[in-house]
Amino acid sequence: MGTLERLLQELATWPKVEGITMADVLELSEPLSTALRKMTVAGSMSLHELATELMLSAVETRQVGEVLVEKGFVSSKSERVSTEVTYQINLARTRSRDLPSAVWQALDGLSNDET
């Protein structure tokens, strides 16, 4: 089974939500988990950046992106000037509580990787 099929099959098991929690992001398989963590740190990610992270073609990544939007994990917008799609993570509202240390460690690891 290829990466596209595996990701689509995995996403099919998740319910539609109004945002994803960082704990949920950490439960996703690779390379999707890392891509969504990087999207969280960066604020948004273009279709081509997401394709690079997922190691898929732009056409395949658009399919995954459509499912991510449908599930409520991300939102997308198209630039008027170009056909480029940009994805932004939809973080779920959580009760005011401390985030698990694994979430902070995952985010810290990403920001350290980029410097």
Domain ranges of the chain: 3-93
Pick the CATH number of 3-93 from 3.30.420.40, 3.40.800.10, 1.10.10.10, 1.10.10.60: 1.10.10.10
Distance (Å, rounded) from C-alpha 56 to C-alpha 60? 6
29: confidence class by pLDDT, cuts 50, 70, 90:
very high
pLDDT digits (tens, 9 = 90+) for 60-103: 999 999 999 999 999 998 866 667 899 999 988 766 566 667 77
Continuous segment of H or E residues that includes residue 69: helix 58-71
30 HSE (CA, 13 A, CB side): 0
Looking at the predicted structure, is the pLDDT value of residue 53 above 60?
yes
What's 91's DSSP letter?
Answer: B
